[in-house]
Amino acid sequence: MARLRTAAFLAPAALLALLLLYAPLAFIVNMSFTVTNSFLSPGGPVYSLENYAAMVQRYLPNLFVTVQLAALAMLVDLVLGFPFAYILVRRIRYRDLVRALMVFPMFGALYVAFGMSFILLPGGPADPLIHAFGLRNTDLLFSLPAVVFAMSIFTFPFMVMSIGTALSNVDPTLEEAAACLGARPWQTFWRVVLPLTRAGVVAGSLMVFGWSIGAFAEPLLLGSLNEQRSLALTLYKRGVVENDYGLSSMMGVVLLSVAFVVTYFSLRYSRGALVD
Amino acid sequence: MSAASTPRRRPLLSSRRLATIASHAYIWLCLILFVLPFLALLSQSLGQRGGASGLGNYAAVFGSFGDNLFWSFKITGLTLLIDLAACLPAAYALVRYPVPGKRLLFSLLQLPLYVPGAVIGLSLLLTYTFVYKIDSMWGLVLAMAVGSFPLMMTPIVVAMKDLPVMFEEASECLGATKWQTYRRIVFPLIGPGVSAGLLLCFIIVFNEYLVTLFVHPPALETAPLKVFNLVRTNGLAPTTAALAVTMQLISFLAVIVFFRIFGTRHFKGTYIL
């Protein structure tokens, strides 16, 4: 009886995940082994490894660009995010205001990318700054730095919150003790603060990386042809525009595998403990 | 005597003070960077390109884009209802009942958050077309629900864990039925957690364009999707900027209202706010 009740309570969420996530994912894994459109042909699907061969032969640069963008965005977030989280947790009293303003990037990468393209447009507000560095607008508007910057703005709050949660669990007296014992600020940081927050830093970085893997709007709106090769965009072009279901499913599976590996380690470091 | 008792004057700019100023400046620099894309859209939407005056762009938002906004609200509302129906009982069971493999189950239910949107979109597009044969609005609603329900689950689980069992035990001792206990005791006490979940889901689903791009029925265009399509076909038009600004302002308003009513502590565990 108790078991039945538990099952009934869990059923809606489990069914939702099973029918609309796990079954479709299994479906595209299957689909990724079929040739182009053969799934639709009356003779039944033709199975082969052709799509994965294409991945290795033709689409490795796409995978490389995807990982490169995500890794760069993660690095920018990490370098800018750690001091931000530290100051936020240790020094700032108006934390709610900061949090409220920090939700703006969360509204979506689309708006961030859209707004950025206005800023970088010739005649836009960033013109003086760009010219001061001796650059032209076109150097920035459709370029790798613009894409990385937009991606890192979008994911910054996740990084800050992950590090901030870890930091708020570290007792400030430990830092004071280190200072009393004669440690310089960077020694305190390197020997005391960083080791104690490592879990949060790693989990946050991996989470940001995993989210950035699927970037779509930023490369499309701000990238050059090189950045537009990113896997999520290619998947859309091949699958929805050209109807090559086999090939685009394969890219989906590749993206999925990368995201899952990253997420697995991220969850091992942070969550999971929530329901225990 | 007086010379000894007056405190030594601190220099106006000690290194400590400089560090404090620098750290506040850093925070504000980052915050400005966050809001900058929004401000750019705002100034653009008020600008005059093609003759229309600034506020005219916003008239267009509620005129020709009114349909898109309506669809956005409708889809988001239905999605939130499905999320609630899925998450409330599941979170309760995960915290209160002995479930074998609890951690694994929770992780499996959290996983949709980490699947890239394009992959969710493609897999649902293919399964809707070839297996489920769904091509109505409900396909989109279900797609939104599966992508967002983990966001609702976490704050509810945290709220449930913070709620001592004794309230429910007391209520049952006093003769309340199970349903009365849920309705009168549990739901009101986890209310803030549920609202936090609702808010998170609202701002994510309301602004979602990527999965929508894959699975939307032909006649249905939500506002974020409209923004996306217009940016691709129409370039950087002020009316598009006005629509994007409207969407962000509505979302921001929801966040501010929530913060004023409940505060921020209910987002514990979500790592997002």
Which residues of chain A make contact with B259, given a CB cutoff of 8 A? Answer: 96, 99-100
Beta-carbon separation of B87 and A270 below 8 A: no
Alpha helices in B54-208 (DSSP H): 54-63, 66-96, 102-110, 117-127, 137-161, 166-173, 178-180, 187-189, 191-206
Specify whether the CB–CB gap between A153 and B37 falls below 8 A: yes
Q: Specify if B110 maps to a domain.
A: yes
Q: Which A-chain residues 53-72 have CB contacts (< 8 A) with chain B?
A: none
Select from B165, B203, B201 the least CA-distant residue to B186: B165
Q: Specify if B47 maps to a domain.
A: no
Beta-carbon separation of B272 and A13 below 8 A: no
Q: Into how many domains does chain B fold?
A: 1
Highest mean pLDDT among A89-98, A164-173, B118-127: B118-127
Which residues of chain A make contact with B112, given a CB cutoff of 8 A? Answer: 17, 21
Which residues of chain A make contact with B153, given a CB cutoff of 8 A? Answer: 13
> Is residue A206 less than 8 Å (CB to CB) from chain B?
no
Beta-carbon separation of A80 and B30 below 8 A: yes
Q: Is the pLDDT assigned to residue A275 strictly greater than 50?
A: no
pLDDT in tens, A178-192: 888 988 888 888 888
Return the residue of A nearest to B20 by Cα.
Answer: A91
pLDDT in tens, A191-216: 888 888 888 888 888 888 988 998 89
> Is residue A180 less than 8 Å (CB to CB) from chain B?
no
Highest mean pLDDT among A62-76, A141-155, A177-191, B62-76: A62-76
Beta-carbon separation of B106 and A118 below 8 A: no
- Which of B99, B126, B228 has its CB closest to that of A6? B99
Q: What pLDDT band is residue A95 in, cutting at 50, 70 and 90?
A: confident
Chain B nearest-CA distance from A251, in A, is 9
> Buried b vs exposed e over A14-39: b needs ≥16 C-beta within 10 Å?
bebbeebbbebbebbbebbbbbbeeb
Q: Specify if B1 maps to a domain.
A: no
pLDDT reported for residue B161:
87
> Is residue A1 less than 8 Å (CB to CB) from chain B?
no
Select from A1, A27, A153, A172 the least CA-distant residue to A86: A172
- Which of A12, A207, A272 has its CB closest to that of B106? A272
Q: Is A47 helix (H, G, I), strand (E, B) or coil?
A: strand
CATH assignment of the domain containing B131: 1.10.3720.10
Token pair 């945290």 is at which residue? B158
Beta-carbon separation of A24 and B112 below 8 A: no
What are the φ and ψ backbone dihedral angles of A34, each rounded to 5 degrees? -100, 150
Mean pLDDT of chain A: 85
Return the residue of A nearest to B109 by Cα.
Answer: A17
**Residue B5 buriedness (CB in 10 A; 0-12 / 13-18 / 19+):** exposed
pLDDT reported for residue B2:
46
Q: Specify if B27 maps to a domain.
A: no
Chain B nearest-CA distance from A78, in A, is 13
pLDDT reported for residue A72:
95
Q: Specify if B40 maps to a domain.
A: no
Q: Is the pLDDT assigned to residue A120 strictly greater than 60?
A: yes
Domain that includes residue B225, residue range: 56-267
pLDDT reported for residue B146:
93
CA distances from B136 to A121, A226, B131, B214 (A): 39, 37, 14, 13
pLDDT reported for residue A276:
44
Which residues of chain B make contact with A100, given a CB cutoff of 8 A? Answer: 252, 255-256, 259
Highest mean pLDDT among A94-98, A224-228, B43-47: A224-228
Interval A220-241 mean pLDDT: 88
Which residues of chain B make contact with A103, given a CB cutoff of 8 A? Answer: 203, 251-252, 255, 273
Select from A64, A105, A97, A117 the least CA-distant residue to A81: A105
Percent of all residues in chain A with a pLDDT value above 70, rounded to a whole number: 96
Which residues of chain A make contact with B20, given a CB cutoff of 8 A? Answer: 91
> Is residue A44 less than 8 Å (CB to CB) from chain B?
no
What does the pLDDT profile of chain B (273 residues) look like in tens digits? 444 455 566 566 678 888 888 888 998 998 888 888 898 888 888 876 555 566 777 777 777 888 889 999 999 999 999 999 999 999 999 888 888 888 888 888 888 888 999 999 999 999 998 888 888 889 999 999 999 998 888 888 888 888 888 888 898 899 888 888 888 888 888 888 888 889 989 999 999 999 999 998 888 889 999 999 988 887 778 888 888 999 999 999 998 888 888 876 667 656 555
Which residues of chain A make contact with B24, given a CB cutoff of 8 A? Answer: 87, 91-92
Comparing A7-11, A138-142, B167-171, B240-244, which segment has the lowest mean pLDDT?
A: A138-142
Beta-carbon separation of B87 and A13 below 8 A: yes
Q: How much is the ipTM here? A: 0.87
Specify the pTM.
Answer: 0.86
Which residues of chain B make contact with A14, given a CB cutoff of 8 A? Answer: 90, 105, 109
Which residues of chain B make contact with A104, given a CB cutoff of 8 A? Answer: 34-35, 37-38, 248, 252
Architecture per CATH, A69-243+258-275: Orthogonal Bundle (1.10)
Chain A nearest-CA distance from B237, in A, is 10
Distance CA A226, CA A146 (A): 13
Chain A nearest-CA distance from B1, in A, is 33
